[in-house]
A and B are shown apart, each in its own frame.
Chain A
């Protein structure tokens, strides 16, 4: 099993550009999450999904959109990137019944 994978690993954007981060899991988990981590800080939840076709806002959702068209994939979109969105983005997944979340390796995004 690959676990949780994230694409791409690194990306540099200019202000105003758009992009989509892809998260995929092969563990048949119901729940999926997108977090961001800024230097010296813990992870903050952006959006999450409790099942295929459903998404919800986390702590810091502004400037991001998500979609979960397939159970195994969770996409994070930035429609108009801003320098404040420079961060490391982590995707995670878990079963419905507990909080053992499996994390991907992260995507390092820089917005100039």
Chain B
């Protein structure tokens, strides 16, 4: 699996957009970019994933560069409840001989302040 690099921590003002970067320069053509977050003392929560096109859902948007070597998770209007550790994970999709193991690194601690 490709390795990812994320900033250790970031701050964001409530109501503003939070842009969390992730570098994955060794990503392979069949690897997806997944984002999860973990709010304190809770289990991780799936946010979004994509292969090469930008993706949007009710929680966030995922922007993947054309060369796929980096991506940005965007929380459009951050709230205090978005304070969490955000994990960027690169992985082939599950199925066939791949069991979908996710490798969680250190992630980015996002702090949303009033």
Contact call B94/A97, Cβ cutoff below 8 A? yes
Contact call B94/A98, Cβ cutoff below 8 A? yes
Q: How far is the CA of A99 from the CA of B101 in the complex (A)?
A: 8
Q: How far is the CA of A44 from the CA of B105 in the complex (A)?
A: 9
Contact call B100/A94, Cβ cutoff below 8 A? yes
Contact call A99/B43, Cβ cutoff below 8 A? no
Contact call A31/B100, Cβ cutoff below 8 A? yes
Q: How far is the CA of A66 from the CA of B44 in the complex (A)?
A: 21
Contact call B99/A101, Cβ cutoff below 8 A? no
A100 interfacial by beta-carbon distance below 8 Å: yes
Which residues of chain B are within 8 angstroms of A104 by Cβ–Cβ distance? 43
CB of B40 to closest CB in A, whole Å: 11
Q: How far is the CA of A94 from the CA of B91 in the complex (A)?
A: 14
Q: How far is the CA of A92 from the CA of B89 in the complex (A)?
A: 16
B53 interfacial by beta-carbon distance below 8 Å: no
Contact call A50/B93, Cβ cutoff below 8 A? no
Interface string of B80-114 (1 = CB under 8 A from A): 00000001010101110001111111110000000
Q: How far is the CA of A97 from the CA of B95 in the complex (A)?
A: 5
Assuming the contacts A42-B105, A99-B34, asked whether A48 and B94 have C-beta atoms less than 8 A apart, the reply is: no
Assuming the contacts A98-B94, A104-B43, A106-B42, asked whether A42 and B87 have C-beta atoms less than 8 A apart, the reply is: yes
Contact call A42/B93, Cβ cutoff below 8 A? no
Closest to B89 in A: A99
CB of A53 to closest CB in B, whole Å: 15
Q: How far is the CA of A106 from the CA of B101 in the complex (A)?
A: 18
Contact call A100/B49, Cβ cutoff below 8 A? yes
CB of A17 to closest CB in B, whole Å: 25
Contact call A43/B104, Cβ cutoff below 8 A? yes
A-B contact pairs, 22 of them (CB 8 A): A31-B94, A42-B106, A45-B102, A45-B103, A94-B94, A96-B94, A96-B95, A97-B95, A98-B93, A98-B94, A98-B100, A99-B89, A99-B91, A99-B93, A100-B46, A101-B36, A101-B44, A101-B46, A101-B102, A105-B43, A106-B41, A106-B42
